[in-house]
Amino acid sequence: MQGAEQAERVRPVDLRLTPAAASFRFGALDAWRGVAALAVALYRLQADGVFYALPFVRNSYLFVDFFFVLSGFVIAYAYLGKLTDGRSTAVFAIRRFGRVWPLHIAMLLAFVALEASHLLRGEAAFQGAKAPWTILPELALLHGLGFTGLTDWNSPAWSISTEFWTYLIFAAVALSFRRQMAIACFTIVTFSMAALVALSPTGMDVTFDYGMLRCLAGFFAGVATFLVWRAIHEGVALKRGTATALECAAILAVIAFVSFAGIGPLSFAAPLVFAPAVLLFAFEAGALSRAMLTRPFQALGEWSYAIYMTAYFIALFFNLKLVPRLEGLPMDLVAVAYLATVIIASWLAFRLIETPTRRFFNARAARVQRARF
């Protein structure tokens, strides 16, 4: 009898990456990106309640490594077959710059305006890690590469800096080592992780100092994950029940890992833990994947970058202004209000900043692609 338990194959994908294929979205993975972004946002709130005390929340900084792995997977899917020459690389760079830079700059301006407000109140401002010169590397996306020193603007943006330059490294590797991509990925991940283990005293919890190594390890682990998916996806058929069980096991493994890893040696396993989860949910074969394809989760996926970029600014307001004044209230209610504020702000940022600027840069990229030289 055929039915829900019948083996289901994932939808066919054109691995030559035609325009239609390139527009394919891994909806379940996008949704998980949104959920992970909310976990990172909650990690930033210092409201001493049940949520705050959970080891899973206190260690949710590790989901930045999930972002890196997922980015490597989807970027490889969308662009590995397209990066063939200088023009295609320029198009790629423009599109990726337009994806990350505008919202980063919008949040930087918000922090600069906040710092300027101190001057209006007669307080010291633009000193130390917020000296005027520190704005320059932020503008150029250089602030996360480790040689400009610590800056103190929108702290989560360190990963945006490292990821943009990792995009360019990926393009160079794709152009130079296309036939040896698996070997290149293994080499980059191995050397990056070896350097992190040797240099970091706080496990994977590195940002402005060794964050580039962290990004390279996660991103190219994601590229390697895509290579595995590309090799096996047409030959793998999972029954719905089997796929659901595997998805539940993967989620429990991720929760357990994040809860116990902390900033110790175990945290170095982050790319190795997140990569199998990304691979599994790329098939979208189980009940959890299907649930993640519903509109609320898809919306979180669309707003995930904005959630990540706006949460720190909102958390500062809650941590410094609201939490101390609301000590008599359950802090978990404050946490819920905080997350609701982050989601609303992210929706606005997505609509008013991300969407129009992405269209602008995509149009510039299309013009370069059509240009005759």
Radius of gyration of the chain (CA): 21
Long-range contacts for 176-181 (Cβ within 8 Å, ≥24 apart)?
Answer: 178/80, 181/80, 181/223, 181/227
- 188-216 per-position pLDDT tens digit: 999 999 999 999 999 999 998 899 999 99
The reported pLDDT for the residue numbered 331 is 80
8: in domain: no
341 or 46: whose pLDDT is higher? 341
Per-residue pLDDT at 307 exceeds 90: yes
Q: Which amino acid is at 37?
A: A
How far is the CA of 11 from the CAs of 21, 26, 76, 236, in angstroms?
A: 11, 11, 18, 11
Domain encompassing residue 264:
19-370
8 Å CB contact between 333 and 51: no
d(CA 162, CA 207): 9
Q: Is 123 helix (H, G, I), strand (E, B) or coil?
A: coil
Tally of domains within the chain? 1
The 10 Å Cβ neighbour count of residue 281 is 25
Q: Residue 3: pLDDT band by 50, 70, 90 thresholds?
A: very low
Q: Residue 160: pLDDT band by 50, 70, 90 thresholds?
A: very high
The 10 Å Cβ neighbour count of residue 166 is 23
52 or 226: whose pLDDT is higher? 226
12: in domain: no
- 51-94 per-position pLDDT tens digit: 888 999 999 999 999 999 999 999 999 999 899 999 999 999 99
d(CA 248, CA 105): 38
1: in domain: no
- Among residues 116, 136, 138, the alpha carbon closest in space to that of 127 is found at 116
d(CA 161, CA 211): 9
177: in domain: yes
8 Å CB contact between 55 and 39: no
10: in domain: no
4: in domain: no
The reported pLDDT for the residue numbered 149 is 67
The reported pLDDT for the residue numbered 373 is 57
The reported pLDDT for the residue numbered 9 is 34
The reported pLDDT for the residue numbered 178 is 84
The reported pLDDT for the residue numbered 24 is 56
174: in domain: yes
Share of the chain above pLDDT 70, in %: 92
The 10 Å Cβ neighbour count of residue 7 is 13
Residue located via tokens 């690389």: 89
- Cα 233 to chain centroid distance, Å, stands at 24
Can you give 144-210 as a three-state secondary structure string? CCCCCCCCCCCHHHHHHHHHHHHHHHHHHHHHHCHHHHHHHHHHHHHHHHHHHHHHCCCCCCCCCCC
35: in domain: yes
Altogether, the residues listed in the chain come to a count of 373
Segment (H or E) for 94: helix 86-120
Q: Would you give the end-to-end CA distance of the chain in angstroms? A: 61
Average model confidence (pLDDT) across the chain: 89
The reported pLDDT for the residue numbered 127 is 87
Q: What is the pTM of this model?
A: 0.89
8 Å CB contact between 289 and 130: no
Q: Which amino acid is at 6?
A: Q
The reported pLDDT for the residue numbered 321 is 81
Name, in order, each residue with C-beta under 8 angstroms of 173's C-beta and a sequence gap of 6 or more.
181, 184, 188
Q: Residue 322: pLDDT band by 50, 70, 90 thresholds?
A: confident
